[in-house]
Amino acid sequence: MNPDRPDNASISPAEFYEAQEDISTNPSTAPTLGDVIQQRFSRRDLLRGALGVSALGVLAASPLAALAAAAEAAGNSETDSDARIKDATETTRFAFTEIAHGVDKTHHVAPGYTAEVLMRWGDPLLPGAPAFDPGGQSPAAQSAQFGYNNDFIGYIPLPPGSKNAEHGLLCVNHEYTNPEVMFPVPSSAAVGEPSLAEAEIQLAAHGGSILEIRRKDGRWHVVRESPYARRITALATEILLSGPAAGHQRLQTQADPTGTRVIGTLGNCAGGITPWDTWLMAEENFHAYFGGDLDDDHPEQANYIRCGIPSSRYGLNRVIERFDINAEPREANRFGWLVEVDPLEPVSTPIKRTALGRFKHEGAESVINGDGRLVIYSGDDQRFEHLYRFVSNDKVNPNDRAANRNLLDSGILSVARFNDDGSLDWLPLVHGQGLLTAENGFASQADVLIEARRAATLLGATPMDRPEDVEPNPVNGRVYVMLTNNSKRGNDGRPGTDTANPRANNIWGHVLELVPKDGDHAADQANWEILIRAGNPNDPGTAAEWNPATSENGWFACPDNCAVDASGRLWVATDQGKNWQQASGTADGVWALETEGAGRGTGRMFFRVPVGAEMCGPRFTPDDRTLFVAVQHPATDGTKDFPGFERVSTFEDPATRWPDFKAGMPPRPSVVVITKDDGGEIGS
């Protein structure tokens, strides 16, 4: 079979997409985070008992491990353990009855809450958009309808500048498509050989949607014929390039010799909302769209290999020239950026802000630093890639929205190096500093930003276990980093661990907590701790680390997206992919996770998605009375492990027809709105 194309009889395109993410392209042999943990704690005694399992390799300097150490020293009597669990349970800041682990064809939410579908793939969005017709799709129709695979969700109150929690705009990313359940058979798109129409429909389904919503009589509704309604697509939306790399020769193409305008945005995963109410769309797995075969001596060959190009998951290069790297060898350099969109100005042109670097961005959440500058955190979502931070040169002007228009065009992009003493160094990616010189292939700052991955590796940044969403907590000043997994750690010659740190083949992931030095997010250093190590605490093989108060349903695997509510509480969404059965045996969902006090490290399951789906985009309204979540690609991931189904889903034969459950209607990615039945705050 063609190695660039999935064999539909044995693997779904969704699983192929995930497999492409699993290919590490970082050649670095620098110490990984696992190695750092090993160095930091290999001298400590092994801890037992506090988590109910042999805790080989648990981090002795983390708060949970300190609890375990205290229990070890005290003999860990049953009375002591019971008292700790009772204290953690009674002091929780979350007051809801958690749901059970499991997997089935629909979604589930905690008792006392209602979860309703707000918007589905194909629902009309723009004025005059046609109703969804799964058997008669077209590029024009999809360009006016809600897109596919909704991921990040941002909420902007209306009127602008208010904190209105019952009327606002939702900004929703559309990450990728699943043609196997999107198109009726026969569909050549399902095996990576799309017709031009199928290719254009998929590109129209990418990008993002802006919809106006209002709460009336206790329920949320989409405002039809809204002047704010907008589709941003990979098919036709013109986007500007700005900042240090804009106009550079490596961004110039036949269609755009200026290197300042590009059509569309791809792989939009997590993102962010700025303090001046613009929307940041993160371009993540852009590599999956480009095919071809450059010569080994081509100037972009090494750059593209590091990005995983070619991949051609969709086969777009077969029908659209700009996705063929032989025909347009610089087009792929125009993706992998953060895109700023102004939802309050429907005719404004989106802008790719090159000062924030080019890599597989996951997340773009920000915080105003104490000195007034904006700080944006972002992960590079691939195994053995890095964690980044951008600090603007200028201060945010809270009183003049227009004054912030080009704030993101100048600042310092840095990458994280984790040290074995629990500190973290932010290493600036600045041309001319350290190894970032012409001698190493960086002739300008544009080169540094275009090849941010290579620059980061040269500086000695720490390769991570798939850094995904990164969320600053404005209440306690800390920053939470979701590390989803790393099935390659310790394999294929990659740096690994030993019995003091048994997280090789880490299929469960963990959550890091960063503590900025003196509360300064722009400081050169920070400290770090592990909040939890995901996986089943009752399975010694996982070496999981949880508060002992965590129930049999409160633990999870593969943290991905997260949200911090107005009270500073952390909520975590998971993405186990096709390995959900191996990682946890339960569907993905949303968990509440305690970060403070006696309950620190306690999980509690709140929401669960249908079989084959991924949990994305948790977002609260300002009053915490509504939680929006994105259910992505239902019926696709790991359906061969779904009891009673046990095969790959297709359009005609999906594992679930969520959320419509109607014959002939395919599964449809959807935004779900969750409210408490008594109208109160979520989780309280």
Task: Determine the Cα–Cα distance for residues 37 and 48; give it in Å rounded to an integer.
Answer: 18
HSE value, Cβ hemisphere, 13 Å, CA-based, for 647: 11
Reduce the DSSP state of residue 463 to 3 states and report it: coil
* Structural tokens at position 8: 């539909």
Beta bridge partners of 614: 632
Beta bridge partners of 145: 124
pLDDT band at residue 42, thresholds of 50, 70 and 90? very low
Residue 4 in any domain: the answer is: no
* Contact in structure between 438 and 432 (CB atoms under 8 Å): no
40-49, 298-307, 565-574: least confident range: 40-49
* Contact in structure between 131 and 139 (CB atoms under 8 Å): no
For 435-465, what is each residue's pLDDT tens digit? 999 999 999 999 999 999 999 999 999 999 9
Q: Which amino acid type is present at position 399? A: N
480-494, 559-573, 593-607: least confident range: 480-494
Tell me the residue range of the domain where 303 lies.
13-676
First to last CA, the chain: 53
Q: Mean of the pLDDT values across residues 623-638?
A: 98
pLDDT at 592 over 80: yes
pLDDT band at residue 51, thresholds of 50, 70 and 90? very low
**Can you give the pLDDT at residue 516?**
97
* Contact in structure between 230 and 343 (CB atoms under 8 Å): yes
Strands 510-516 and 479-483: antiparallel
pLDDT at 92 over 90: no
Residue 584 in any domain: the answer is: yes
Considering the chain, what percentage of its residues have pLDDT values greater than 70?
87
Rg over CA atoms, the chain:
24
Order of strands, sheet of 626-632, starting from the edge strand that comes earlier in the sequence: 113-120, 670-676, 626-632, 614-620
Residue appearing with tokens 């497999």: 19
Considering the chain, what percentage of its residues have pLDDT values greater than 90?
80
For 155-210, what is each residue's pLDDT tens digit? 999 999 999 999 999 999 999 999 999 999 878 888 889 999 999 999 999 999 99
pLDDT at 348 over 90: yes
* Contact in structure between 261 and 251 (CB atoms under 8 Å): no
Query: What H or E segment, with its residue span, contains residue 120?
Result: strand 113-120
Reduce the DSSP state of residue 334 to 3 states and report it: helix
HSE value, Cβ hemisphere, 13 Å, CA-based, for 328: 24
Query: What H or E segment, with its residue span, contains residue 128?
Result: none
**Can you give the pLDDT at residue 78?**
54
Residue 558 in any domain: the answer is: yes
**Can you give the pLDDT at residue 414?**
98
Task: Determine the Cα–Cα distance for residues 16 and 191; give it in Å rounded to an integer.
Answer: 11
HSE value, Cβ hemisphere, 13 Å, CA-based, for 490: 17
pTM across the whole model: 0.92
**Can you give the pLDDT at residue 397?**
98
Q: Mean of the pLDDT values across residues 53-79?
A: 47
pLDDT band at residue 25, thresholds of 50, 70 and 90? confident
Task: Determine the Cα–Cα distance for residues 419 and 587; give it in Å rounded to an integer.
Answer: 35
pLDDT band at residue 420, thresholds of 50, 70 and 90? confident
What average pLDDT does the chain have?
89
pLDDT band at residue 22, thresholds of 50, 70 and 90? low
Residue 8 in any domain: the answer is: no
138-152, 218-232, 279-293, 488-502: least confident range: 488-502
For 229-280, what is each residue's pLDDT tens digit? 999 999 999 999 999 999 999 999 999 999 999 999 999 999 999 999 999 9
Q: Which of 591, 171, 520 is nearest to 367 (CA)?
A: 520
Residue 681 in any domain: the answer is: no
**Can you give the pLDDT at residue 77?**
54
For 110-136, what is each residue's pLDDT tens digit? 999 999 999 999 999 999 999 999 999
Task: Determine the Cα–Cα distance for residues 54 and 51; give it in Å rounded to an integer.
Answer: 8
487 versus 556: the higher-pLDDT residue is: 556
pLDDT band at residue 20, thresholds of 50, 70 and 90? low
The 8-class DSSP code of residue 225 comes to T
**Can you give the pLDDT at residue 504?**
75
49-53, 67-71, 678-682: least confident range: 49-53
Residue 684 in any domain: the answer is: no
* Structural tokens at position 548: 């002992």
pLDDT at 101 over 70: yes
Residue 631 in any domain: the answer is: yes
Task: Determine the Cα–Cα distance for residues 351 and 242; give it in Å rounded to an integer.
Answer: 7
* Structural tokens at position 106: 């629909």
**Can you give the pLDDT at residue 186?**
77
Query: What H or E segment, with its residue span, contains residue 581?
Result: helix 580-583
Residue appearing with tokens 């499991």: 102
| Structural domain count of the chain | 1
Which of 565-569's residues contact partners 24+ apart within 8 Å by CB, and which partners?
565/620, 565/624, 565/682, 565/683, 566/620, 566/622, 566/623, 566/624, 567/93, 567/475, 567/624, 567/681, 567/684, 568/473, 568/474, 568/475, 568/476, 568/595, 569/93, 569/94, 569/594, 569/595, 569/683
CB proximity list for 296: less than 8 A, separation 6 or greater: none
60-74, 133-147, 229-243, 550-564: least confident range: 60-74
For 478-525, what is each residue's pLDDT tens digit? 999 999 998 887 777 765 542 323 367 899 999 999 999 999 999 999
Residue 683 in any domain: the answer is: no
* Contact in structure between 588 and 637 (CB atoms under 8 Å): no
Angle at 348 between CA 283 and CA 284, to 5 degrees: 0
**Can you give the pLDDT at residue 144?**
98
**Can you give the pLDDT at residue 38?**
47
Task: Give me the DSSP letters along 39-52.
Answer: HHHTTSPPEESTTS
**Can you give the pLDDT at residue 40?**
44
* Contact in structure between 334 and 253 (CB atoms under 8 Å): yes
pLDDT at 44 over 50: no
